Structure 1
Amino acid sequence: MTNRIPHPATAPDDGHAIVIGAGLGGLASAMRLGAKGYRVTVLDRLDRAGGRGSSISQDGHRFDLGPTIVTAPQVFEELWAACGRDFRRDVDLRPVDPFYEVRWPDGTRFRATGDDAKMMEEVARISPGDVRGYMRFLKDAQARYVVGYEGMVAKPMHRLWETIKVLPRFAMLRADRSIYGHAAARVRDEKLRMALSFHPLFIGGDPMHVTSMYALVAHLEKTFGVHYAMGGVQAIADAMADVVRDQGGIIRQGVEVDEILIKGNAARGVRLTDGQEMAAPLIVSNADAGHTYDRLLRNHKRRRWTRRKLAAKRWSMGLYVWYFGTRGTRGDWADLGHHTILNGPRYTGLLRDIFLRGKLSDDFSLYIHRPSVTDPTVAPKGDDTFYVLSPVPHLGWDDPVDWEAEAPKYRDKIAAVLETVMPGFRDKISTQTEFTPATFRDRYLSPHGCGFSIEPRILQSAWFRPHNVSEEAKGLFLVGAGTHPGAGLPGVVSSATVIDKMIPDCPVARSADTTPTRLAAE
């Protein structure tokens, strides 16, 4: 057996492990635990696996609710391989090229692609004097990828020393500088600064304040490409659930965990909202870290992650997402591809409103997802499916946005802007729904209705983030966006890789009976 990092919990005597939440992090954890020989039970309050990566179907349209881009397929390939499976046989992953197009109100466009020559042409077309600076930025991105991604993402960071020993390299790479500040140091054109620095928004970070280490995304895209899973991220979640079941695991949908049960400072099981108790000395929580500590451990005295400590954290922004289908438009708006970012008149000012002031501005920037360009199964023949996202303040401000009152007005403002790139679309809408931060709060139990849990600022990363192995109870592990390494598909799946390095193989032979153990009355 490979060497394992020592951790405060021994392997469960009965070989049973409970995973709270069937998001991508929870499913990846269940797969890895199953591969180690554990009897795994996954408990999820939604009606379908995937968590924020799930989907809904409405009037013949399928809407991905959350992540839409696969930027590091190798994390899934490695996960499948650990289970003796081939990811590419289970999931149809297609490259998307160009990766995305960024647009500005004055008509300027920037198409991102994996072709170096084309990227140089894009930069030169916008600002000829910035080509050399852009080349430097790419070299910077590669260096940050080696240190920040290869060196840290799938590595346990619950010991302070693991963070301290990377500080010299962080200092050399100017990790103290924001990603926007780093882009500004390399290129002069404000549009290019935006195009090189916006990526942290996809994991909940303010480009004006998160570390320049996130420049590594440029290298990640360039090296591994941008992909789409046919059937959406839901198809990945469904394939993960199939692996768990093939391993003998149980996935229960529509059941909610109300409390993690602790005895003698060690996890011993969970209690559901219906009062049922289930025993397991190994618990993996894929619920938001804030919800795990503030709600699921509410009756356990916490040493570090107290309510006050959680309240002092900076949380990611909220999201307004408008999902709609259009009739007979598959051949319309030919220049609108799979992924489009539509900038408003402001960039840095808008970021300040969202992250520092908690203000819902009159202007906004939009991400437009048009999966029907790649995957015709998302809509009826000839129709389109759209997902339009706008970053907005979360609900934790003193005077939070009243979304019940504001959503219709905000949607109308967005529609007016969309008419400039999709003329006539409003008259062709056949079905629609929307998510606001209030939806994220109620559907995903996300603190403050955040889209991505705790914001990934440098002092809220690695050791400073809720650890994958809990400090509060033996046998409790955390995965998902609120833990190390953070949000995004590579991050949440890698969090399961981290706990895999801390949990030993199951020493108990699995029996034919995989029924979860219920706690005896005490």
Structure 2
Amino acid sequence: MLNAATLDAAPPPESPPGEARPGPDPARPHAVVIGSGFGGLAAAVRLGARGYRVTVLERLPSLGGRARVHRQDGFTFDAGPTIVTAPQLFAELWTLCGRRMEDDVTLRPLSPFYRIHFDDGAQFACSGDAAAMRAEVTRLSPGDLAGYEAFMRMSETLCRVGFEELGDQPFGAPRDMLRVLPALVRLGAWRSVHALVARHVRDDRLRAALSFHPLLIGGNPFAASALYGLIAHLERRWGVHWVMGGTGRLVEGLAGLIRGQGGTLRCGAEVAEILLRDGRACGVRLADGATLAADIVVSNADSAWTYRHLLPGLRRRRWTDRRLARARSSMGLFVWYFGTRRRYPAVDHHSILLGPRYRGLLDDIFRRRVLPADFSLYLHRPTATDPAMAPPGADAFYALVPVPHLGAGIDWAREAEPFRRAIARRLSATLLPGLEDAVVTSRVTTPQDFATDLLAYRGAGFGLEPILTQSAWFRPHNRSEEVERLYLVGAGTHPGAGLPGVLSSARILDKVVPHAHALA
């Protein structure tokens, strides 16, 4: 087995030779964006379209944040997001720049979206084909077909209200929450996603298949608000897509849009402090001591990191250290990236292997915060759709396992390799026979890496846990309630984690950030 010998992907290339690109205009108001995750990149595009001169600062050597790319021994591994849902949110960014996304990025719809493998050997293939889904439900639990269809109707309503109507609306004042309270009550938002599903279907396997979606955004299905039941319909309506070449191609495409607007992207530029003048953000100080003046500052850094570390002289009124410590963080993630010398053609692009326990396992992760002996995992095989992600005749994979965040006190320096070996044994005994002898390259990411590399509070994979009392107005606001002209985007603010969430957080800036001409 080879070690992680090669470095992460280099920053996206400059424009092709001969392509004209506008330079920065010092007369335009200046926006500094801290962090180049999808929230930060989308914010930069939107601010550029609204007249700002934009500088994006990324502390890591490559762009993307959680969506950075690992290139190793001829394999390409997306570090984080692996699917695109609601692709119109990306396409809109290209439209703002007078361009077409399909000229830069190729999306390939997937069917099935993913295949769930239950511990008893049963399978459930989830797709956007309504007839195929009815057949899958009937095969698994015939008596639950009517309940399944009732759940999907409810998911459609939740998607219309929770995503289409409220997902890109700012919640900056208590009245914003009061305005939507009747709808939340009507939709039963105080229930959990699992409770919502359990009202409609009886089979425990089907309940797991229809309720696991909050884990995609850091939530416990037994605690996340029933609003997140919208994900089932969101997937059906807009599909699940793979970006040919990997999710990093979207990062490169957005970087190209920003440069085309005359914006600047700087890697290896760590922000040490957000500078204030008369209670307003007026620039940033970098770790090397340099300063950049700004008319507005947008932070795509972890929201807890922003408030705890980037505003050292500020007496915070709401997001104090005490309040942040009492907040509930999402689970952590253990990710094993590996490549094999052989291919596994029978394995889908996305597979979910559920262990023998569902609720008990989630209790261990979210409540008891212990590292259990059993686990469930998500297996990503991009080479099922895109063979170029690996050398000829090889396969690229990543296996993602939900684990407790760093508040559990797990010593990952000691536990990482035994845990990786346990994952390898499980995969070898199920989907990937002979795996342990086939692996030729390997690397792991633990919650400690999320804390060290991505500055994630408690090493949580998705910021705050998406429960009702940490949603909408209860999350850190997109327009900071602590500092004027400071704005937040990304998983740690409203509406939350996942690509649709972080892109929507940037969309909200159009409603809360003044147009550049108002500051000129």
Q: Same fold (TM over 0.5)?
A: yes
Mapped partners of 2:424, 2:440: distance in 1: 15
Mapped partners of 2:450, 2:465: distance in 1: 16
Of 372, 382, 387, 1:361 maps to 372
Deviation at 1:509, TM superposition (A): 11
Gaps of 5+ in 1: 1-11, 511-522
Percent identical pairs in the alignment equals: 53
Deviation at 1:73, TM superposition (A): 0.3
Deviations 1:18-48 (A, max 9, x none): 0000110000010011111111110001111
Deviation at 1:13, TM superposition (A): 8.6
- SS of 1:142's equivalent? helix
Of 114, 119, 138, 1:100 maps to 114
Mapped partners of 1:182, 1:263: distance in 2: 48
Amino acid at match of 1:470: S
- SS of 2:462's equivalent? coil
**Quick check: 1:94–1:228 contact (8 Å CA) kept in 2?**
yes
In the alignment, which residue of structure 1 is the partner of 2:394?
383
Amino acid at match of 2:283: G
**Quick check: 2:36–2:65 contact (8 Å CA) kept in 1?**
yes
Q: Relative to structure 2, which stretch is displaced further, 382-391 or 71-80?
A: 71-80
- SS of 2:47's equivalent? helix
In the alignment, which residue of structure 2 is the partner of 1:53?
67
**Quick check: 1:289–1:478 contact (8 Å CA) kept in 2?**
yes
Of 331, 334, 339, 2:350 maps to 339
Mapped partners of 1:357, 1:464: distance in 2: 24
Amino acid at match of 1:414: I
In the alignment, which residue of structure 2 is the partner of 1:5?
none
Mapped partners of 1:152, 1:305: distance in 2: 23
Amino acid at match of 1:477: Y
2:78 equivalent to 1:64: yes
In the alignment, which residue of structure 2 is the partner of 1:191?
205
Deviation at 1:505, TM superposition (A): 2.1
Amino acid at match of 1:362: A
In the alignment, which residue of structure 1 is the partner of 2:436?
426
Amino acid at match of 2:258: V
Mapped partners of 1:426, 1:396: distance in 2: 32
Mapped partners of 1:290, 1:255: distance in 2: 20
Deviations 1:469-506 (A, max 9, x none): 00111110000000011001111111110012222221
Deviation at 1:406, TM superposition (A): 0.7
- SS of 2:95's equivalent? helix
2:224 equivalent to 1:224: no
Of 320, 326, 343, 1:306 maps to 320
In the alignment, which residue of structure 2 is the partner of 1:447?
457
Deviation at 1:77, TM superposition (A): 1.3
Q: Count the aligned residue pairs.
A: 494
**Quick check: 2:243–2:250 contact (8 Å CA) kept in 1?**
yes
Of 462, 485, 489, 2:499 maps to 489
In the alignment, which residue of structure 2 is the partner of 1:370?
381
**Quick check: 1:283–1:475 contact (8 Å CA) kept in 2?**
yes
Amino acid at match of 1:442: T
Of 460, 465, 468, 2:475 maps to 465
RMSD: 1.3
2:217 equivalent to 1:211: no
- SS of 2:112's equivalent? coil
In the alignment, which residue of structure 2 is the partner of 1:265?
279
Deviation at 1:508, TM superposition (A): 8.1
**Quick check: 1:230–1:375 contact (8 Å CA) kept in 2?**
yes
- SS of 1:26's equivalent? helix
2:105 equivalent to 1:91: yes
**Quick check: 2:425–2:436 contact (8 Å CA) kept in 1?**
no
Mapped partners of 1:345, 1:509: distance in 2: 58
Mapped partners of 2:52, 2:275: distance in 1: 20
Mapped partners of 1:250, 1:508: distance in 2: 22
**Quick check: 2:126–2:133 contact (8 Å CA) kept in 1?**
yes
Of 382, 385, 407, 1:396 maps to 407
**Quick check: 2:28–2:51 contact (8 Å CA) kept in 1?**
no
Deviation at 1:243, TM superposition (A): 0.4
Mapped partners of 2:234, 2:339: distance in 1: 32
**Quick check: 1:16–1:281 contact (8 Å CA) kept in 2?**
yes
Q: Relative to structure 2, which stretch is displaced further, 56-65 or 158-167?
A: 158-167
- SS of 1:507's equivalent? helix
Deviation at 1:335, TM superposition (A): 2.5
Deviations 1:197-254 (A, max 9, x none): 0011010011000111111111111111100111211110110001001110000001
Which residues in structure 2 correspond to 1:70-81 (within 5 Å)?
Answer: 70-81=84-95
**Quick check: 1:31–1:244 contact (8 Å CA) kept in 2?**
yes
**Quick check: 1:56–1:62 contact (8 Å CA) kept in 2?**
yes
Deviation at 1:83, TM superposition (A): 2.3
Of 409, 414, 417, 2:418 maps to 409
Mapped partners of 1:164, 1:13: distance in 2: 41
In the alignment, which residue of structure 2 is the partner of 1:202?
216
- SS of 1:484's equivalent? coil
**Quick check: 2:156–2:230 contact (8 Å CA) kept in 1?**
yes
- SS of 2:81's equivalent? coil
Deviation at 1:79, TM superposition (A): 2.1
Deviation at 1:323, TM superposition (A): 0.3
In the alignment, which residue of structure 2 is the partner of 1:248?
262
- SS of 2:406's equivalent? coil
- SS of 2:441's equivalent? strand
